[in-house]
Structure 1
Amino acid sequence: MLRARLATAAVAIPLLLLLIKYAPFWLFAAVLALIAAVGVLEYFVMAFPSQPGSRALGVALGWMLAIASASTRADWLAFAMVAALVIGLSWTLLARVDFEKGIGDLGLTLLGILYVSVLLPYFVWLWQTPHGAGWVILLLGAGMGGDSSGYFAGHAFGKHKLMPRVSPGKTVEGALGILAGSVAGVGIVELVLLPLMGLDVPDLGWTEATVVAVVIGVVGQVGDLCESMMKRTFAAKESGWIFPGHGGVLDRIDSLVFPVALLYYYVDLCR
Protein backbone atom coordinates (compact mmCIF):
# COMPACT_ATOMS: atom_id res chain seq x y z
CA MET A 1 0.00 0.00 0.00
CA LEU A 2 2.72 2.50 1.00
CA ARG A 3 4.81 1.66 -2.07
CA ALA A 4 1.80 2.21 -4.34
CA ARG A 5 1.02 5.53 -2.63
CA LEU A 6 4.59 6.75 -3.12
CA ALA A 7 4.74 5.61 -6.75
CA THR A 8 1.48 7.36 -7.58
CA ALA A 9 2.64 10.56 -5.86
CA ALA A 10 5.99 10.46 -7.69
CA VAL A 11 4.17 10.47 -11.03
CA ALA A 12 1.24 12.74 -10.21
CA ILE A 13 2.99 15.59 -8.37
CA PRO A 14 5.38 16.65 -11.19
CA LEU A 15 2.53 16.49 -13.70
CA LEU A 16 0.37 18.66 -11.45
CA LEU A 17 3.12 21.24 -11.02
CA LEU A 18 3.72 21.43 -14.78
CA LEU A 19 0.00 21.81 -15.40
CA ILE A 20 -0.39 24.58 -12.81
CA LYS A 21 2.56 26.62 -14.08
CA TYR A 22 2.48 26.16 -17.85
CA ALA A 23 -1.02 25.12 -18.93
CA PRO A 24 -3.19 27.58 -20.88
CA PHE A 25 -6.60 28.30 -19.43
CA TRP A 26 -8.48 25.89 -21.70
CA LEU A 27 -6.21 22.96 -20.74
CA PHE A 28 -6.30 23.70 -17.01
CA ALA A 29 -10.10 24.04 -17.08
CA ALA A 30 -10.46 20.89 -19.21
CA VAL A 31 -8.35 18.82 -16.79
CA LEU A 32 -10.40 20.06 -13.82
CA ALA A 33 -13.63 19.30 -15.70
CA LEU A 34 -12.34 15.78 -16.43
CA ILE A 35 -11.42 15.24 -12.77
CA ALA A 36 -14.87 16.50 -11.76
CA ALA A 37 -16.49 14.15 -14.28
CA VAL A 38 -14.67 11.14 -12.82
CA GLY A 39 -15.54 12.27 -9.28
CA VAL A 40 -19.21 12.65 -10.19
CA LEU A 41 -19.21 9.18 -11.73
CA GLU A 42 -17.63 7.70 -8.57
CA TYR A 43 -20.20 9.40 -6.36
CA PHE A 44 -23.23 8.21 -8.29
CA VAL A 45 -21.91 4.67 -8.64
CA MET A 46 -21.75 4.61 -4.83
CA ALA A 47 -25.06 6.40 -4.29
CA PHE A 48 -27.19 4.46 -6.81
CA PRO A 49 -25.54 1.06 -7.40
CA SER A 50 -28.83 -0.58 -8.43
CA GLN A 51 -30.61 2.39 -10.04
CA PRO A 52 -29.06 2.94 -13.47
CA GLY A 53 -31.57 5.64 -14.42
CA SER A 54 -30.87 7.80 -11.36
CA ARG A 55 -27.15 7.15 -11.71
CA ALA A 56 -27.09 8.20 -15.37
CA LEU A 57 -29.15 11.32 -14.66
CA GLY A 58 -26.90 12.35 -11.79
CA VAL A 59 -23.75 11.86 -13.84
CA ALA A 60 -25.18 13.87 -16.76
CA LEU A 61 -26.27 16.75 -14.52
CA GLY A 62 -22.96 16.68 -12.67
CA TRP A 63 -20.99 16.88 -15.89
CA MET A 64 -23.17 19.76 -17.07
CA LEU A 65 -22.49 21.72 -13.89
CA ALA A 66 -18.77 20.89 -13.97
CA ILE A 67 -18.45 22.34 -17.47
CA ALA A 68 -20.52 25.40 -16.54
CA SER A 69 -18.47 25.98 -13.38
CA ALA A 70 -15.12 25.59 -15.14
CA SER A 71 -16.18 28.13 -17.76
CA THR A 72 -16.05 30.89 -15.06
CA ARG A 73 -19.30 32.31 -16.50
CA ALA A 74 -21.63 33.02 -13.56
CA ASP A 75 -24.69 33.10 -15.83
CA TRP A 76 -23.85 29.66 -17.23
CA LEU A 77 -23.43 28.26 -13.73
CA ALA A 78 -26.72 29.79 -12.54
CA PHE A 79 -28.54 28.36 -15.56
CA ALA A 80 -26.97 24.92 -15.04
CA MET A 81 -27.95 24.86 -11.34
CA VAL A 82 -31.56 25.82 -12.10
CA ALA A 83 -31.68 23.25 -14.91
CA ALA A 84 -30.30 20.55 -12.59
CA LEU A 85 -32.97 21.32 -9.98
CA VAL A 86 -35.84 21.37 -12.52
CA ILE A 87 -34.68 18.20 -14.30
CA GLY A 88 -34.08 16.41 -11.00
CA LEU A 89 -37.54 17.30 -9.69
CA SER A 90 -39.13 16.29 -13.00
CA TRP A 91 -37.35 12.94 -12.89
CA THR A 92 -38.57 12.36 -9.33
CA LEU A 93 -42.14 13.27 -10.32
CA LEU A 94 -42.25 11.09 -13.44
CA ALA A 95 -40.19 8.07 -12.40
CA ARG A 96 -41.20 7.52 -8.78
CA VAL A 97 -44.19 5.86 -7.17
CA ASP A 98 -42.62 6.12 -3.71
CA PHE A 99 -42.25 9.90 -3.56
CA GLU A 100 -40.73 9.90 -0.07
CA LYS A 101 -37.84 7.78 -1.31
CA GLY A 102 -37.73 9.81 -4.51
CA ILE A 103 -37.19 13.06 -2.62
CA GLY A 104 -34.39 11.35 -0.69
CA ASP A 105 -32.79 10.25 -3.95
CA LEU A 106 -33.14 13.78 -5.30
CA GLY A 107 -31.31 15.06 -2.23
CA LEU A 108 -28.50 12.57 -2.84
CA THR A 109 -28.33 13.67 -6.48
CA LEU A 110 -28.11 17.38 -5.65
CA LEU A 111 -25.55 16.69 -2.91
CA GLY A 112 -23.29 14.87 -5.35
CA ILE A 113 -23.61 17.62 -7.94
CA LEU A 114 -22.84 20.41 -5.46
CA TYR A 115 -20.05 18.54 -3.66
CA VAL A 116 -18.05 17.76 -6.79
CA SER A 117 -19.22 19.82 -9.75
CA VAL A 118 -19.59 23.17 -8.00
CA LEU A 119 -16.74 23.03 -5.46
CA LEU A 120 -13.98 21.54 -7.61
CA PRO A 121 -13.98 24.37 -10.23
CA TYR A 122 -12.88 26.76 -7.47
CA PHE A 123 -9.41 25.53 -8.41
CA VAL A 124 -9.87 27.25 -11.78
CA TRP A 125 -11.10 30.45 -10.15
CA LEU A 126 -8.24 30.47 -7.60
CA TRP A 127 -5.73 29.78 -10.40
CA GLN A 128 -6.99 32.86 -12.27
CA THR A 129 -6.41 35.27 -9.37
CA PRO A 130 -3.18 37.32 -9.26
CA HIS A 131 -0.35 34.90 -8.40
CA GLY A 132 -3.00 32.18 -8.56
CA ALA A 133 -0.57 29.43 -9.55
CA GLY A 134 1.37 30.04 -6.34
CA TRP A 135 -1.79 29.93 -4.24
CA VAL A 136 -2.92 26.66 -5.84
CA ILE A 137 0.47 25.05 -5.18
CA LEU A 138 0.39 26.39 -1.61
CA LEU A 139 -3.00 24.75 -1.10
CA LEU A 140 -1.77 21.46 -2.54
CA GLY A 141 1.33 21.62 -0.35
CA ALA A 142 -0.80 22.07 2.75
CA GLY A 143 -3.17 19.30 1.70
CA MET A 144 -0.50 16.77 0.72
CA GLY A 145 1.70 17.61 3.69
CA GLY A 146 -1.24 17.19 6.02
CA ASP A 147 -2.36 13.92 4.44
CA SER A 148 1.13 12.42 4.62
CA SER A 149 1.92 13.47 8.18
CA GLY A 150 -1.56 12.51 9.34
CA TYR A 151 -1.15 9.05 7.79
CA PHE A 152 2.17 8.41 9.54
CA ALA A 153 1.19 10.07 12.84
CA GLY A 154 -2.02 8.07 12.97
CA HIS A 155 -0.24 4.78 12.31
CA ALA A 156 2.62 5.50 14.71
CA PHE A 157 0.87 7.21 17.61
CA GLY A 158 -2.88 6.89 17.04
CA LYS A 159 -4.68 5.76 20.20
CA HIS A 160 -7.64 8.09 20.70
CA LYS A 161 -10.46 7.83 18.17
CA LEU A 162 -11.55 11.10 16.58
CA MET A 163 -15.05 10.26 15.31
CA PRO A 164 -15.42 6.47 15.41
CA ARG A 165 -19.00 6.42 14.12
CA VAL A 166 -17.98 8.32 11.00
CA SER A 167 -14.43 7.07 10.40
CA PRO A 168 -13.16 4.40 12.83
CA GLY A 169 -9.59 4.64 11.54
CA LYS A 170 -9.10 8.35 12.21
CA THR A 171 -7.49 9.39 15.49
CA VAL A 172 -6.86 12.59 17.42
CA GLU A 173 -3.12 12.03 17.00
CA GLY A 174 -3.56 11.72 13.24
CA ALA A 175 -5.62 14.93 13.19
CA LEU A 176 -2.86 16.80 15.03
CA GLY A 177 -0.37 15.32 12.58
CA ILE A 178 -2.43 16.76 9.73
CA LEU A 179 -2.22 20.25 11.22
CA ALA A 180 1.54 19.97 11.71
CA GLY A 181 1.98 18.61 8.19
CA SER A 182 -0.13 21.41 6.71
CA VAL A 183 2.09 24.03 8.33
CA ALA A 184 5.24 22.19 7.21
CA GLY A 185 3.86 21.78 3.69
CA VAL A 186 3.12 25.49 3.36
CA GLY A 187 6.60 26.32 4.66
CA ILE A 188 8.32 24.01 2.17
CA VAL A 189 6.25 25.34 -0.71
CA GLU A 190 6.86 28.98 0.19
CA LEU A 191 10.58 28.69 0.95
CA VAL A 192 11.69 26.03 -1.53
CA LEU A 193 9.24 25.00 -4.22
CA LEU A 194 7.82 28.34 -5.36
CA PRO A 195 11.26 29.99 -5.74
CA LEU A 196 12.50 26.97 -7.72
CA MET A 197 9.51 27.30 -10.05
CA GLY A 198 9.84 31.05 -10.43
CA LEU A 199 6.52 31.65 -8.67
CA ASP A 200 5.58 33.47 -5.51
CA VAL A 201 2.80 34.52 -3.17
CA PRO A 202 3.67 38.15 -2.35
CA ASP A 203 3.59 39.55 1.17
CA LEU A 204 2.80 36.23 2.82
CA GLY A 205 4.44 36.47 6.23
CA TRP A 206 4.98 33.57 8.58
CA THR A 207 2.04 34.45 10.81
CA GLU A 208 -0.39 34.63 7.90
CA ALA A 209 1.09 31.51 6.31
CA THR A 210 0.69 29.56 9.55
CA VAL A 211 -2.91 30.68 10.00
CA VAL A 212 -3.71 29.80 6.38
CA ALA A 213 -2.09 26.37 6.80
CA VAL A 214 -3.96 25.60 10.03
CA VAL A 215 -7.30 26.68 8.53
CA ILE A 216 -6.64 24.50 5.47
CA GLY A 217 -5.79 21.60 7.79
CA VAL A 218 -8.93 22.01 9.92
CA VAL A 219 -11.36 22.62 7.06
CA GLY A 220 -9.73 19.85 5.04
CA GLN A 221 -10.41 17.38 7.85
CA VAL A 222 -14.06 18.43 7.84
CA GLY A 223 -14.17 17.59 4.13
CA ASP A 224 -12.40 14.29 4.75
CA LEU A 225 -14.90 13.34 7.45
CA CYS A 226 -17.82 14.35 5.23
CA GLU A 227 -16.58 12.02 2.50
CA SER A 228 -16.09 9.26 5.09
CA MET A 229 -19.70 9.78 6.19
CA MET A 230 -20.86 9.43 2.58
CA LYS A 231 -18.88 6.22 2.10
CA ARG A 232 -20.27 4.72 5.31
CA THR A 233 -23.79 5.69 4.21
CA PHE A 234 -23.21 3.99 0.85
CA ALA A 235 -21.32 1.04 2.43
CA ALA A 236 -18.24 1.74 0.29
CA LYS A 237 -14.65 1.39 1.50
CA GLU A 238 -13.19 3.63 -1.20
CA SER A 239 -14.80 5.85 -3.81
CA GLY A 240 -12.80 4.31 -6.68
CA TRP A 241 -9.52 2.82 -7.80
CA ILE A 242 -8.08 5.27 -10.34
CA PHE A 243 -5.08 6.20 -8.13
CA PRO A 244 -3.21 3.07 -6.94
CA GLY A 245 -2.76 3.20 -3.18
CA HIS A 246 -4.91 6.32 -2.88
CA GLY A 247 -8.37 5.16 -4.02
CA GLY A 248 -10.51 7.27 -6.30
CA VAL A 249 -10.81 10.93 -7.21
CA LEU A 250 -13.12 11.65 -4.27
CA ASP A 251 -10.62 10.06 -1.90
CA ARG A 252 -7.95 12.46 -3.18
CA ILE A 253 -9.97 15.68 -3.27
CA ASP A 254 -11.98 15.26 -0.06
CA SER A 255 -9.54 17.36 1.98
CA LEU A 256 -9.23 20.03 -0.74
CA VAL A 257 -12.72 20.91 -2.02
CA PHE A 258 -13.78 22.88 1.08
CA PRO A 259 -10.41 24.64 1.61
CA VAL A 260 -10.08 25.68 -2.05
CA ALA A 261 -13.40 27.53 -1.93
CA LEU A 262 -12.47 29.22 1.35
CA LEU A 263 -8.98 30.13 0.08
CA TYR A 264 -10.40 31.57 -3.13
CA TYR A 265 -12.66 33.98 -1.22
CA TYR A 266 -9.82 34.90 1.13
CA VAL A 267 -7.48 35.72 -1.77
CA ASP A 268 -10.18 37.47 -3.80
CA LEU A 269 -11.68 39.55 -0.99
CA CYS A 270 -8.92 40.05 1.57
CA ARG A 271 -5.67 40.40 -0.41
Structure 2
Amino acid sequence: MTDSPSSSVRRARKELATRLRELRKDAELTARALSVAAGWHESKTSRIESGERLVSDTDVRIWCRICGVSELADDLVAVSRDVDAMYVEWQRQHHGGLRRAQAARAPLYERTRHMRVYSSTVMPGLFQTPAYAGSLLSAIASFRRVPNDVEAAVEARTARNRVLHEGDHRFCVLMEESVLRYRIGDRETMRGQLEHLLGVMSLPSVAVGVVPFVTEERPVWPVETFTLFDTDRAHVETLSAQITVTAPGELGLYARAFEELAGISVFGARARATIVSAMGAPE
Protein backbone atom coordinates (compact mmCIF):
# COMPACT_ATOMS: atom_id res chain seq x y z
CA MET A 1 0.00 0.00 0.00
CA THR A 2 0.98 3.64 -0.22
CA ASP A 3 2.62 5.36 2.75
CA SER A 4 -0.51 7.50 3.14
CA PRO A 5 -3.88 7.58 1.36
CA SER A 6 -3.50 11.34 1.10
CA SER A 7 -0.41 11.19 -1.12
CA SER A 8 -2.44 11.78 -4.29
CA VAL A 9 -3.94 14.88 -2.65
CA ARG A 10 -0.49 16.21 -1.81
CA ARG A 11 0.71 15.53 -5.33
CA ALA A 12 -2.25 17.33 -6.93
CA ARG A 13 -1.80 20.28 -4.58
CA LYS A 14 1.92 20.38 -5.44
CA GLU A 15 1.19 20.39 -9.16
CA LEU A 16 -1.15 23.37 -8.77
CA ALA A 17 1.44 25.16 -6.61
CA THR A 18 4.12 24.58 -9.26
CA ARG A 19 1.85 26.01 -11.95
CA LEU A 20 1.22 29.17 -9.90
CA ARG A 21 4.94 29.60 -9.22
CA GLU A 22 5.68 29.25 -12.94
CA LEU A 23 3.13 31.96 -13.75
CA ARG A 24 4.82 34.30 -11.29
CA LYS A 25 8.24 33.63 -12.76
CA ASP A 26 6.96 34.01 -16.33
CA ALA A 27 5.65 37.42 -15.29
CA GLU A 28 9.16 38.23 -13.97
CA LEU A 29 7.85 38.92 -10.49
CA THR A 30 9.58 38.09 -7.23
CA ALA A 31 7.58 36.47 -4.47
CA ARG A 32 7.85 39.71 -2.53
CA ALA A 33 6.57 41.80 -5.44
CA LEU A 34 3.57 39.53 -5.96
CA SER A 35 2.81 39.60 -2.24
CA VAL A 36 2.91 43.40 -2.10
CA ALA A 37 0.64 43.66 -5.15
CA ALA A 38 -1.78 41.12 -3.66
CA GLY A 39 -1.82 42.82 -0.28
CA TRP A 40 -0.82 39.80 1.74
CA HIS A 41 2.27 38.67 3.67
CA GLU A 42 5.12 37.10 1.72
CA SER A 43 4.86 33.98 3.87
CA LYS A 44 1.42 33.32 2.34
CA THR A 45 2.94 33.33 -1.14
CA SER A 46 5.62 30.93 0.06
CA ARG A 47 3.07 28.53 1.54
CA ILE A 48 0.96 28.63 -1.63
CA GLU A 49 3.97 27.91 -3.84
CA SER A 50 5.11 25.06 -1.61
CA GLY A 51 1.66 23.47 -1.66
CA GLU A 52 1.35 23.80 2.12
CA ARG A 53 -1.67 26.09 1.93
CA LEU A 54 -5.00 25.51 0.21
CA VAL A 55 -5.55 28.33 -2.23
CA SER A 56 -8.96 30.00 -2.41
CA ASP A 57 -10.81 30.98 -5.60
CA THR A 58 -10.13 34.63 -4.77
CA ASP A 59 -6.41 33.96 -4.26
CA VAL A 60 -6.19 32.26 -7.65
CA ARG A 61 -7.94 35.14 -9.42
CA ILE A 62 -5.74 37.75 -7.72
CA TRP A 63 -2.63 35.73 -8.60
CA CYS A 64 -3.61 35.48 -12.26
CA ARG A 65 -4.51 39.17 -12.49
CA ILE A 66 -1.16 40.28 -11.04
CA CYS A 67 0.68 37.92 -13.38
CA GLY A 68 -1.22 39.30 -16.37
CA VAL A 69 -3.00 36.04 -17.21
CA SER A 70 -6.54 36.65 -16.00
CA GLU A 71 -7.79 34.50 -18.88
CA LEU A 72 -6.37 31.42 -17.07
CA ALA A 73 -8.16 32.14 -13.81
CA ASP A 74 -11.33 30.11 -14.48
CA ASP A 75 -9.38 26.97 -15.43
CA LEU A 76 -7.08 27.23 -12.42
CA VAL A 77 -10.00 27.84 -10.09
CA ALA A 78 -11.55 24.61 -11.41
CA VAL A 79 -8.29 22.75 -10.77
CA SER A 80 -8.09 24.21 -7.27
CA ARG A 81 -11.63 23.08 -6.49
CA ASP A 82 -10.85 19.56 -7.72
CA VAL A 83 -7.84 19.40 -5.40
CA ASP A 84 -9.90 20.70 -2.50
CA ALA A 85 -12.58 18.09 -3.14
CA MET A 86 -10.07 15.24 -2.96
CA TYR A 87 -9.66 15.64 0.80
CA VAL A 88 -12.89 16.42 2.61
CA GLU A 89 -12.87 16.48 6.40
CA TRP A 90 -15.80 14.68 8.00
CA GLN A 91 -16.40 17.72 10.17
CA ARG A 92 -16.86 19.77 7.01
CA GLN A 93 -19.11 17.18 5.38
CA HIS A 94 -21.26 16.82 8.47
CA HIS A 95 -21.39 20.36 9.78
CA GLY A 96 -25.11 20.59 9.02
CA GLY A 97 -25.87 17.00 9.98
CA LEU A 98 -25.38 13.54 8.50
CA ARG A 99 -28.29 13.26 6.06
CA ARG A 100 -26.83 15.42 3.32
CA ALA A 101 -23.62 13.38 3.08
CA GLN A 102 -25.62 10.15 2.79
CA ALA A 103 -27.84 11.51 0.03
CA ALA A 104 -24.92 13.09 -1.83
CA ARG A 105 -23.39 9.70 -2.57
CA ALA A 106 -26.49 8.30 -4.24
CA PRO A 107 -25.64 9.45 -7.82
CA LEU A 108 -22.14 7.90 -7.59
CA TYR A 109 -23.60 4.61 -6.36
CA GLU A 110 -26.18 4.61 -9.15
CA ARG A 111 -23.69 5.15 -11.97
CA THR A 112 -21.11 2.68 -10.65
CA ARG A 113 -21.33 -0.68 -12.38
CA HIS A 114 -18.76 -2.58 -10.29
CA MET A 115 -18.24 -1.61 -6.66
CA ARG A 116 -15.58 -3.22 -4.49
CA VAL A 117 -15.63 -2.54 -0.75
CA TYR A 118 -13.18 -3.51 1.97
CA SER A 119 -14.04 -2.83 5.60
CA SER A 120 -11.89 -3.49 8.64
CA THR A 121 -14.09 -1.79 11.23
CA VAL A 122 -17.87 -1.74 10.72
CA MET A 123 -20.48 -3.34 8.49
CA PRO A 124 -20.29 -1.70 5.04
CA GLY A 125 -23.01 0.89 4.57
CA LEU A 126 -24.52 -1.03 1.66
CA PHE A 127 -25.52 -3.84 4.01
CA GLN A 128 -26.50 -1.96 7.14
CA THR A 129 -29.95 -2.41 8.69
CA PRO A 130 -31.75 0.73 9.85
CA ALA A 131 -31.15 -0.25 13.51
CA TYR A 132 -27.42 -0.83 12.98
CA ALA A 133 -27.06 2.34 10.89
CA GLY A 134 -28.93 4.32 13.53
CA SER A 135 -26.60 3.12 16.31
CA LEU A 136 -23.50 3.80 14.23
CA LEU A 137 -24.58 7.23 12.98
CA SER A 138 -25.65 8.28 16.47
CA ALA A 139 -22.15 7.52 17.72
CA ILE A 140 -20.64 9.42 14.80
CA ALA A 141 -22.84 12.47 15.39
CA SER A 142 -21.94 12.49 19.06
CA PHE A 143 -18.21 12.04 18.52
CA ARG A 144 -18.00 14.68 15.79
CA ARG A 145 -20.34 17.02 17.68
CA VAL A 146 -22.56 17.69 14.68
CA PRO A 147 -26.36 18.14 14.53
CA ASN A 148 -28.14 14.87 15.26
CA ASP A 149 -30.37 14.21 12.26
CA VAL A 150 -29.80 10.47 12.48
CA GLU A 151 -33.34 9.43 11.60
CA ALA A 152 -33.21 11.39 8.31
CA ALA A 153 -29.66 10.14 7.64
CA VAL A 154 -30.74 6.52 8.08
CA GLU A 155 -33.61 7.06 5.66
CA ALA A 156 -31.20 8.55 3.10
CA ARG A 157 -28.75 5.67 3.53
CA THR A 158 -31.52 3.09 3.17
CA ALA A 159 -32.81 4.80 0.01
CA ARG A 160 -29.29 4.94 -1.42
CA ASN A 161 -28.87 1.21 -0.87
CA ARG A 162 -31.65 0.38 -3.32
CA VAL A 163 -28.86 -0.03 -5.86
CA LEU A 164 -28.42 -3.55 -4.47
CA HIS A 165 -31.73 -4.50 -6.06
CA GLU A 166 -31.90 -2.20 -9.08
CA GLY A 167 -30.00 -1.79 -12.33
CA ASP A 168 -26.95 -3.56 -13.69
CA HIS A 169 -24.60 -3.42 -10.71
CA ARG A 170 -22.11 -5.86 -9.22
CA PHE A 171 -20.83 -5.71 -5.67
CA CYS A 172 -17.90 -7.52 -4.12
CA VAL A 173 -17.56 -6.78 -0.42
CA LEU A 174 -14.77 -7.97 1.86
CA MET A 175 -14.79 -7.52 5.61
CA GLU A 176 -12.53 -8.57 8.41
CA GLU A 177 -14.04 -11.21 10.70
CA SER A 178 -13.81 -8.66 13.51
CA VAL A 179 -16.52 -6.60 11.77
CA LEU A 180 -18.96 -9.43 12.53
CA ARG A 181 -18.13 -9.28 16.22
CA TYR A 182 -17.68 -5.58 17.00
CA ARG A 183 -20.78 -4.59 18.97
CA ILE A 184 -22.66 -1.73 17.31
CA GLY A 185 -25.94 -1.20 19.13
CA ASP A 186 -27.41 -3.85 21.41
CA ARG A 187 -27.45 -7.63 21.07
CA GLU A 188 -30.68 -7.68 19.05
CA THR A 189 -29.35 -5.00 16.70
CA MET A 190 -26.25 -7.08 15.99
CA ARG A 191 -28.21 -10.28 15.54
CA GLY A 192 -30.60 -8.55 13.14
CA GLN A 193 -27.65 -7.11 11.23
CA LEU A 194 -25.98 -10.50 10.80
CA GLU A 195 -29.26 -12.12 9.75
CA HIS A 196 -29.68 -9.35 7.17
CA LEU A 197 -26.14 -9.97 5.93
CA LEU A 198 -26.95 -13.64 5.38
CA GLY A 199 -29.97 -12.59 3.32
CA VAL A 200 -28.03 -10.05 1.23
CA MET A 201 -25.46 -12.72 0.36
CA SER A 202 -28.12 -14.56 -1.66
CA LEU A 203 -28.51 -11.69 -4.12
CA PRO A 204 -27.06 -12.61 -7.53
CA SER A 205 -25.28 -9.25 -7.82
CA VAL A 206 -23.48 -9.61 -4.49
CA ALA A 207 -20.35 -11.50 -3.43
CA VAL A 208 -19.33 -11.35 0.24
CA GLY A 209 -15.96 -12.46 1.56
CA VAL A 210 -14.80 -12.64 5.16
CA VAL A 211 -11.12 -12.36 6.05
CA PRO A 212 -10.68 -14.90 8.88
CA PHE A 213 -9.03 -14.03 12.16
CA VAL A 214 -6.48 -16.77 11.48
CA THR A 215 -4.83 -17.33 8.11
CA GLU A 216 -1.64 -19.16 7.18
CA GLU A 217 -0.08 -16.14 5.51
CA ARG A 218 -1.41 -12.61 5.31
CA PRO A 219 -0.09 -10.62 2.32
CA VAL A 220 -1.98 -7.45 3.34
CA TRP A 221 -2.47 -6.28 6.92
CA PRO A 222 -5.82 -4.80 8.04
CA VAL A 223 -5.88 -1.37 6.44
CA GLU A 224 -8.27 1.57 6.33
CA THR A 225 -11.74 1.03 4.89
CA PHE A 226 -11.87 1.78 1.17
CA THR A 227 -14.28 1.55 -1.75
CA LEU A 228 -13.36 1.19 -5.40
CA PHE A 229 -15.89 2.63 -7.86
CA ASP A 230 -15.35 0.88 -11.20
CA THR A 231 -11.73 1.59 -12.14
CA ASP A 232 -11.55 5.38 -11.96
CA ARG A 233 -11.80 6.36 -8.29
CA ALA A 234 -11.55 5.16 -4.73
CA HIS A 235 -12.81 6.59 -1.45
CA VAL A 236 -10.59 5.99 1.56
CA GLU A 237 -11.95 6.61 5.05
CA THR A 238 -9.75 7.86 7.87
CA LEU A 239 -10.74 9.14 11.29
CA SER A 240 -10.64 12.74 10.12
CA ALA A 241 -11.57 12.71 6.44
CA GLN A 242 -12.74 10.99 3.31
CA ILE A 243 -10.01 10.96 0.69
CA THR A 244 -10.73 10.55 -3.01
CA VAL A 245 -8.01 8.74 -4.94
CA THR A 246 -7.92 9.08 -8.74
CA ALA A 247 -4.23 8.69 -9.60
CA PRO A 248 -3.88 5.49 -11.70
CA GLY A 249 -0.85 4.27 -9.77
CA GLU A 250 -2.59 4.55 -6.41
CA LEU A 251 -5.80 3.06 -7.75
CA GLY A 252 -3.72 0.12 -8.90
CA LEU A 253 -2.38 -0.36 -5.38
CA TYR A 254 -5.86 -0.39 -3.88
CA ALA A 255 -7.07 -2.81 -6.55
CA ARG A 256 -4.10 -5.06 -5.86
CA ALA A 257 -4.73 -4.92 -2.11
CA PHE A 258 -8.36 -5.83 -2.72
CA GLU A 259 -7.39 -8.83 -4.85
CA GLU A 260 -4.89 -10.08 -2.29
CA LEU A 261 -7.39 -9.66 0.54
CA ALA A 262 -9.96 -11.53 -1.55
CA GLY A 263 -7.41 -14.29 -1.97
CA ILE A 264 -7.33 -14.97 1.78
CA SER A 265 -11.08 -14.46 2.31
CA VAL A 266 -13.69 -17.17 2.63
CA PHE A 267 -16.84 -17.05 0.52
CA GLY A 268 -20.06 -19.01 0.19
CA ALA A 269 -20.72 -21.71 2.77
CA ARG A 270 -17.54 -20.94 4.73
CA ALA A 271 -18.42 -17.25 4.96
CA ARG A 272 -21.95 -18.15 6.10
CA ALA A 273 -20.56 -20.47 8.76
CA THR A 274 -18.34 -17.66 10.05
CA ILE A 275 -21.31 -15.27 10.24
CA VAL A 276 -23.47 -17.86 12.01
CA SER A 277 -20.63 -18.47 14.46
CA ALA A 278 -20.48 -14.74 15.22
CA MET A 279 -24.24 -14.73 15.85
CA GLY A 280 -23.80 -17.39 18.51
CA ALA A 281 -20.71 -15.90 20.12
CA PRO A 282 -20.97 -15.66 23.93
CA GLU A 283 -21.45 -12.26 25.53
Scaled by the length of structure 2, the TM-score of the pair is 0.31
User: Which protein is bigger by CA-based radius of gyration?
Assistant: 2
Give the structure with the higher percent helix.
1
